[in-house]
Amino acid sequence: MERGARPSFFSTFETAIASGMSVLEFVCPACQVLGEIDLRTIDRHRAMTISGLIPSLSCRRCCTNPPSAPAIKRLTEEEWN
């Protein structure tokens, strides 16, 4: 906003990583399997929206043709164990 650009209403890889919220949690609506992925490990353009990952996150456990796209639950901080 400082540089006069229009704000984005969809989170991008760049904004998620810059804010420290790099872990994406998602769930399959059919079988309820939970998954998570670290956005820093994915080779995608930084300006890509996180919702652009939905096709590649579709569950292949419940069937070969998933019934619907996964539901993105939230972005979280990296957990250090």
Q: What is the CB neighbour count within 10 angstroms for residue 11? A: 17
Structure confidence by residue, pLDDT tens digits, 41-81 = 988 888 888 888 877 777 777 666 655 666 777 777 766 44
Per-residue confidence (pLDDT) for residue 81, from 0 to 100: 44
Of 12, 8, 6, residue with least CA distance to 51: 12
Q: Which residue has the tokens 């420290």?
A: 20
pTM over 0.85: no
For residues 80 and 9, give the distance between their C-alpha atoms in angstroms, rounded to a whole number: 29
Q: Which residue has the higher pLDDT, 37 or 9?
A: 37
Q: Which residue has the tokens 């019934």?
A: 67
Per-residue confidence (pLDDT) for residue 68, from 0 to 100: 60
Residue 36 in tokens = 């998570």
